Structure 1
Amino acid sequence: MKRNKKHTIFGILFSMLTIAVITSCSDWTDVESVDLDQANIANKNPELYAKYLNNLREYKKSDHTLVYVWFDNSEKTPFTRAQHIIDLPDSVDIVGMIHPDNLTDWELKEMAKIRTDKATKVIYSIDFESIKAAYNTKLELATEEEPVSESFVSFLIDSLGYSLSLANKYDYDGICITYAGKSRLHMRPDELKEYTANETAFINMVTDWHKRNQQKIISYEGKPQNLIDPSLLDDCLSILISGKEATNANALTYNLQLAVKENIPEDRYGMVVMATDLNDPNKKIGYFADGSLAIKGLADWAPIAYGGITVKAVGIYNVSTDYHTSAQDYFYTRELISSVNPSVK
């Protein structure tokens, strides 16, 4: 009841703010306009807007389904509002920067603003497979004159150390560890030994970093059932299962069921899907097999409990493309937010 009351108050304030702003300026005709010019909103009715932001921050402290989005921040000279994180829906809890390094001053200012005004946390992902791929590329480019002398574990430690250093360099709120792993059931002894050494080096280094940076949040994305030692998950805010390649809602359920194992906390499972790709003419990325949007499928799927497991987080990868999907910016993202957290936009 307390949770629903907070959501209702927040929703009422949002509606009041929208009505107040729209009626005060004939140039604004829908909610999208409210989102596009928050500076004017604050000027038109600063007291109501301040109350709205305060309730937004209180809402994000409450028990609710967390909403993650991963944002493509590759454009450093923005030419559309879709390239600004301050234009994301206010109720997004956590923003992941897809390109976490080489941030500009205006990006850092926007990160600080959404953190202060809206209690939105900003993180970035560290992907084991990306590090592995970078090492394999290095091997492919090696020559007899310039061979690769370092082992993968040494390369991993150096790469991971640099990636972790970005958290404090750019004042991120935390990280998301992306590690799928694989089943060890049929591994040969030598393969298992190498696999174990790689995972142990990766997970242990992250664990040690988090012990020294407990003010930073840590989330996990991947296949937790494949972890040799799942104890890291005890410290994770969310355990996110990847539905990025799911072709229907049943695949989301299947992926979740595979992840539910002994010694894995059951109170923080989440699901991540892809947004569409504007450079995908075949409409494969961000779509289910029947042509429906994966975000919309997640909105229908997430509110239902599966085998006693309640989904406590949802995520959208490459969310900025949803800015362009309809007349209202981030329409399907807002729909997902409202689905998992009723009375909230």
Structure 2
Amino acid sequence: MKNSIKYIAILAAVILSAGACSKWTQQEALEFNYVTIEEKNPALYEAYLESVRSYHATEHQVLIARFDNKAGALTGRADHVNNLPDSVDYVVLNNYSTISETILSEVAEVKEKKGIKTLIPLDFDVLEKEYALYLEGLESETEPTLEDEVAWMGEKVNAFIGTATKLGLDGVMVSYVGKNPLGLKSGESEKVIALQEAFFGPVLTYAAGGKLLFFQGNPNNLLLEADVLTPAQYIIVPAETVTSLEGFNFAVHMASGEGVPADKFVLGVTAFDVTDETATAGLFSGNISAIDGAARWAVTPDASFGKKGICVNHAQFDYFNIQNVYSEINTAIATMNPSPLK
């Protein structure tokens, strides 16, 4: 892996020093006739891409970028998946029901050229809220049964898996927080298990076909008999409101437990929205970004569990960094996987 990082660093420096990469300019209104490095020196660019693909194929701490893809026309560079940093390992398209043809084309491009894989997300707790709204709209006098809710849940998840399959994506990220089993009332566990089976069943079948599966949430709240965590590549621990390294450790320790693999943890944070004057999410202690804080956490050894990397929600916010586009994400990648160059 070190050789891959070294070659990426060398070739990236050459590419940037050529002054030819328009990816880093933030001027949207003006048009310049840039000659890209791909046009000027195709062999050098292909060598760079080969190093990027090699990097993604090696063992390293990952960066998962959750991206708020737009449904309509893309109006700026921040809207494009192919403008994400090349060393991002995975992209999760947050708005999976409205993926444009442009985004789909870019998803195929970054996979072929750079080895970046793309997933779509589904959240159990969001589906439960949708079901409650669905019940409010019903005019039936018949009280809905557990079987009705299980069937509804199954239809939603199967439709989601159908979308992932139709789009030819690499996998899915499923979120489940749920309820603490210790707080369940008598008889409530049967309902929880039935709904978990309806939610995870189609997902596990899909993953068994060679697709990626990321789990996000609280694994200790899983009660179903089927094993969800072994086939999952990563267990993402939500920590978007945490503002200290101690808080990060506490969040992961709370997700740890019997039956939870200790070598799959990824920390989930969010990028800071510089366009929102009231925003606080994405800020860490000492006025540093949560992305930076999470990367520092990731490289701090812990004997209790393994740290596989970080997941950044709303990654496109970091495009508008005053230092450079995607400055925090690029810095986090370099922190977790430093170049051996001195």
TM-score above 0.5, yes or no? yes
Please name the residue that 2:70 is paired with: 74
Question: Which deviates the most, 248-257 or 258-267?
Answer: 258-267
1:270 Cα deviation from its structure 2 partner: 0.7
1:245 aligns with 2:245: no
1:223 aligns with 2:218: yes
Q: Is the 8 A contact 1:60 1:93 kept in 2?
A: yes
- Aligned CA distance change for structure 1 residues 39 and 264 (closer, same or farther; 3 Å): farther
Please name the residue that 2:283 is paired with: 287
Q: How big is each residue's C-alpha offset from its partner over 1:120-177, in whole Å with a ceiling of 9 and x where there is no partner?
A: 0011111111111110111223335798687221110010010111112111111111
Inter-partner Cα distance in structure 2 for 1:180 and 1:196? 14
Inter-partner Cα distance in structure 2 for 1:104 and 1:12? 35
1:38 Cα deviation from its structure 2 partner: 9.4
1:257 aligns with 2:260: no
Q: Is the 8 A contact 2:70 2:98 kept in 1?
A: no
1:32 aligns with 2:27: no
Q: Is the 8 A contact 2:71 2:100 kept in 1?
A: no
Question: Which deviates the most, 109-118 or 318-327?
Answer: 318-327
Please name the residue that 2:137 is paired with: 141
1:153 aligns with 2:150: yes
Please name the residue that 1:208 is paired with: 205
Please name the residue that 1:14 is paired with: 12
Task: Report SS of the residue matched to 2:319.
Answer: helix
1:42 Cα deviation from its structure 2 partner: 0.2
Task: Report SS of the residue matched to 1:220.
Answer: strand
Q: Is the 8 A contact 2:216 2:235 kept in 1?
A: yes
1:266 Cα deviation from its structure 2 partner: 2.1
1:100 to 87, 90, 96: 96
Task: Report SS of the residue matched to 1:254.
Answer: helix
Inter-partner Cα distance in structure 2 for 1:338 and 1:222? 27
How much identity, in percent, do the aligned residues show? 25
Task: Report SS of the residue matched to 1:231.
Answer: coil
1:18 Cα deviation from its structure 2 partner: 2.3
TM-score normalised by the chain length of structure 2: 0.89
Task: Report SS of the residue matched to 1:315.
Answer: strand
1:31 Cα deviation from its structure 2 partner: 8.1
The residue correspondences of 1:167-186 to structure 2 (distance < 5 A) are 167-186=164-183
Q: Is the 8 A contact 2:270 2:314 kept in 1?
A: yes
- Aligned CA distance change for structure 1 residues 270 and 51 (closer, same or farther; 3 Å): same
Please name the residue that 2:159 is paired with: 162
Inter-partner Cα distance in structure 1 for 2:188 and 2:65? 35
1:126 to 116, 122, 127: 122
Q: In structure 2, what residue type is equivalent to 1:334? A: N
1:112 aligns with 2:79: no
1:75 Cα deviation from its structure 2 partner: 4.5
TM-score normalised by the chain length of structure 1: 0.89
- Aligned CA distance change for structure 1 residues 276 and 100 (closer, same or farther; 3 Å): same
Q: How big is each residue's C-alpha offset from its partner over 1:77-136, in whole Å with a ceiling of 9 and x where there is no partner?
A: 111100000000000000000111232221111111001000000111111111111101
Q: How big is each residue's C-alpha offset from its partner over 1:221-270, in whole Å with a ceiling of 9 and x where there is no partner?
A: 11112222472211111111111222322211101112222322222211
Please name the residue that 1:329 is paired with: 325
Inter-partner Cα distance in structure 2 for 1:110 and 1:232? 30
Question: Which deviates the most, 304-313 or 113-122?
Answer: 304-313
1:287 Cα deviation from its structure 2 partner: 2.1
Inter-partner Cα distance in structure 1 for 2:194 and 2:144? 19
Q: Is the 8 A contact 1:244 1:286 kept in 2?
A: yes
Q: In structure 2, what residue type is equivalent to 1:89? A: P
1:186 Cα deviation from its structure 2 partner: 2.7
- Aligned CA distance change for structure 1 residues 321 and 224 (closer, same or farther; 3 Å): same
Q: In structure 2, what residue type is equivalent to 1:181? A: G
Q: Is the 8 A contact 1:230 1:263 kept in 2?
A: no
